Structure 1
Amino acid sequence: MKHAETVTFGGGCLDRSAELRGQADVIAGHLNGAKAKVFPLWRGRVLVSDTPAVRSVSLPVTHDLFQHGQDSPVFLGFDGEYSCFAIDISSWVPDDFDADSFSKFHDTTVYTHPNVPDGAGFRELRSVMTQLSATDAEVLATAKALFSWHESHQFCAKCGTKSEMAESGWQRNCPSCKTPHFPRTDPVVIMLITHGNDVLIGRSPGWPEGMYSLLAGFVEPGETLEAAVRREVNEEAGITVGPVSYLASQPWAFPSSLMFGCAGEATSRDIKIDPSEIEDARWISREEMAKAMRGEHPEILPAREGAIAHFILFHWLSDTLK
């Protein structure tokens, strides 16, 4: 797919410089240098400003916000001449924080700190992802995915001992059994399943009313992407699928997936949903989907803008999948 890397979180130019991660002195020199950008993340939220346009906000490592740092800084790489780091400050609690209403997906509250630049606040990444530059999006998604992994992998999976951050945040080592642990990425297939002029869409329980998307599911051990597409569509909607082809991928740091966009041709039409998997599935025509994407369909809202489902559907409607 010729437009594959224009997907949200794709097409950035972050130089990850993995060869430097184990060189503590070199990394420390960059962190304390004049060209260091340090990005704070708070409870999975990113610091961005909307003045004059939406952009990431970095701070000097000496900023007092970083006294709330949960662990060592994570080295992300280089954005041109600037070295990029991130620090998790989740121990900070805003004065107006309401834990009962806090939601990583639906809460649109902007949380501010008195000592950050005017106009800057902590926002849910999905709420601003389409407005960021490609490099900003890549940097913040990388930081978010890494911190999600550190949060959920505090202990050695082999012996249970609390592990320690290593390799500038790209590894955790067990001090007891010496087992190294590395950030995980979960492969997920998301499918443009068509039959003639129609496309198969579905919705999960808890989504906003009317919101539909392409079917998706995790790839299982020992399974190819093609097999995962056929299995997931059959499990969720009872539809059989013939030829399958790859379209594009998208890193999706919510919390740690890599979405593989695929196209498949259905060989059956009768839908029989598994209610434990999805709430509804239906075939809709290209013309109906065009209305939904314009916000004009009476029953169907489009997939979230910035998600690979929206990206694939847009190119399907535009005849630019190839």
Structure 2
Amino acid sequence: MAMFFLDQPPMLSRATFDRADEIRDDPDRMASGWPTARVLLVDGNGRYPVADGGGLHWLDATHLGAEPPADAVFLGLDSGGRDLWTRRVDHIDGPTDDPRRGAHGLDADEAGLLATALGILNWHATARFSPVDGSVTAPARGGWVRRHAESGVDEFPRTDPAIITVVHDGADRVLLGRQTVWPDGWYSTLAGFVEPGESLEQCVRREVHEEVGITVREPRYLGSQPWPFPRSLMLGFAAIGDPDEPLAFLDGEIGDAAWFDRAEVIEALEQGGEWVRADGAVGTGTDERRLRLPGSISIARSLITAWAYADR
């Protein structure tokens, strides 16, 4: 089989907007940009407001007051140089969407801004107190650190690295698994969090063995994608396994796994479909296809697609 690569970055990794890190240290500059700034609101479930055309609906910043609220986060600059912010709220008026379903309809920068907003807001939600001594922390640097009230020590945003691997046989078969809570027919690549003291390649071998009981070789990095559910970075790999090696679900996370032929995978890819209903909930599983693949915003979809069309 020919070596395969991602033909383009995964959907949430294509943004080129200016994060303008230098502005985060300049409160006067952020305040001066606030009157013309725009704000993306996000609710506690990660839903975001949708514009008429299906893109992000931004709120004029002045609707929130004359200066940036303490809990707002500076995201960067849009293509016209306007400041962009985000803020978590309890309720959003008007149409909203779930990022797992709706992000595939956003352009590259909007998808990246949404992923950034979700990741940083999810971190703030769990970082109100110091992990060292339990003291109260407060946002600083435009929301990109949380500062200890007494010591002034900064806590930085946390991102959890995880590997995600398309396991294939070096020819025309790929191994996909499904969690026990997924409806029948829903399969994806294998994934897991990196442990302390572990390289990415070691994590690939360990996670695949824990989940399906086989030993893979030649783990090869392909690309990465932020996955802000709640704040992960998915590091995509390919690895080779032996279809004759018995499968064993050692850690209990995988309810089933199977080797699929390339033609069946391509058929499933071309049938399309998403894994999330219009209301953002997980689908009902009434689709009777043997194989239903992850949605288009996931790096899992990118990895499977790259493998499936490698020889075409």
The whole-number CA distance in structure 1 between the counterparts of 2:199 and 2:108 is 29
Tell me which amino acid in the other structure corresponds to 1:79.
D
State the shift of 1:206 in Å. 1.8
Deviations 1:241-280 (A, max 9, x none): 1111111111111110111110101146311112522111
Q: What's the counterpart of residue 72 of structure 1?
A: 71
Asked whether 1:245 is paired with 2:220, we answer yes
Say which SS state the counterpart of residue 13 (structure 1) adopts.
Answer: coil
Instruction: State the secondary structure of the residue aligned to 2:61.
Output: coil
Residue 186 in structure 1 maps to residue 189 in structure 2: no
1:71 and 1:280 map into 2 onto residues whose CA distance is 47
1:3 aligns with 7
Amino acid at match of 1:229: V
1:317 is aligned to 308
Is 2:20 the counterpart of 1:17? yes
Q: Is residue 35 of structure 2 the alignment partner of residue 61 of structure 1?
A: no
Aligned-pair CA distance for 1:320: 7.4
Q: Deviations over 1:96-128 (max 9, x none)?
A: xxxxxxxxxxxxxxxx62xxxxxx522211111
C-alpha contact 2:173 2:262 (8 A) present in aligned 1? yes
Superposed CA deviations along residues 262-317 of structure 1, whole A, max 9, x for unmatched, are 01011463111125221111111111212222349832211122111111111211
- What is the rounded CA distance, in whole Å, between the counterparts of 1:293 and 1:276 in structure 2? 28
Give the Cα–Cα distance (whole angstroms) in 1 for the partners of residues 8 and 194 of structure 2: 20
Could you tell me which amino acid in structure 2 is paired with residue 40 of structure 1? L
Give CA-to-partner distance per residue, 1:71-115, whole Å, 9 cap, x none. Answer: 43211001122211112112x4xxxxxxxxxxxxxxxxxxx62xx
| C-alpha deviation, 1:26, in angstroms | 0.5
Where does residue 87 of structure 1 map in the other structure?
Answer: 87
Q: Which has the higher contact order (CA 8 A, sep 6+)?
A: 2
Aligned-partner SS, 1:55:
coil
* Cα distance in structure 2, aligned partners of 1:209 and 1:70: 46
Measured in 2, the distance between the counterparts of 1:149 and 1:140 equals 14
Deviations 1:194-253 (A, max 9, x none): 113211100112223321100001111111111110000001101101111111111111
Whether the 8 Å CA contact 1:159–1:177 is kept in 2: the answer is no
Letter in 1 for 2:48: V
CA distance in 1, matches of 2:180, 2:293: 16
TM-score computed with the length of structure 1 as normaliser:
0.84
Match of 2:202 among 227, 233, 237: 227
| 2:247 counterpart of 1:271 | yes
Letter in 2 for 1:84: L
Task: From 144, 153, 174, give the equivalent of 2:148.
Answer: 174
- Structure 2 length as normaliser, TM-score? 0.86
The answer to whether structure 1 residue 303 and structure 2 residue 294 are counterparts is: yes
Distance in 1, Cα, partners of 2:132 & 2:154: 10
- Matched to 2:123, the amino acid is W
Aligned pair partner of 1:144 in 115, 118, 123: 118
CA distance in 1, matches of 2:194, 2:31: 39
Q: Cα 1:204–1:165, aligned 2, differ >3 Å: closer, same or farther?
A: same
Instruction: Determine the C-alpha separation between the residues in 1 that align with 2:291 and 2:267.
Output: 9
CA gap 1:136/1:23 in 2 versus in 1, 3 angstroms? same
SS at match of 2:62: coil
- Unaligned runs of 5+ residues in structure 2 are 273-287
Q: Which residue of 2 aligns with 1:158?
A: 132
Q: Secondary structure at the match of 1:310?
A: helix
Query: 1:183, CA displacement in angstroms?
Result: 0.6
2:282 maps to what in 1? none
Percentage of matched positions with identical amino acids:
34
- Following superposition, the deviation at residue 47 of structure 1 comes to 1.2
Q: Does the Cα contact within 8 Å between 2:212 and 2:248 map onto a contact in 1?
A: yes
Aligned to 1:260: 235
Which of these residues, 45, 48, 60, is aligned with residue 46 of structure 1? Answer: 48
1:46 partner amino acid: Y
Instruction: Determine the C-alpha separation between the residues in 1 that align with 2:230 and 2:245.
Output: 33
3-state DSSP class of the match of 1:9?
A: helix
Question: Which letter does structure 2 place at the counterpart of 1:77?
Answer: G
Across the two proteins, how many residue pairs are aligned to each other?
288
Distance 1:42 1:192 in 2: 33
Give me the whole-angstrom Cα distance separating, in 1, the residues matched to 2:246 and 2:264.
19
List gaps (5 residues or longer) in structure 1.
Answer: 93-111, 114-119
Alpha-carbon distance change, 182 to 61 in structure 1, aligned in 2, over 3 angstroms:
same
List structure 1 segments (4+ residues) > 4 angstroms apart after TM superposition. none
Alpha-carbon distance in 1 for matches of 2:43, 2:219: 40
1:291 equivalent in alignment to 2:293: no
Given that 1:213 and 1:303 are in contact with CA atoms closer than 8 Å, whether structure 2 keeps it comes out as yes
Q: Secondary structure at the match of 1:316?
A: helix
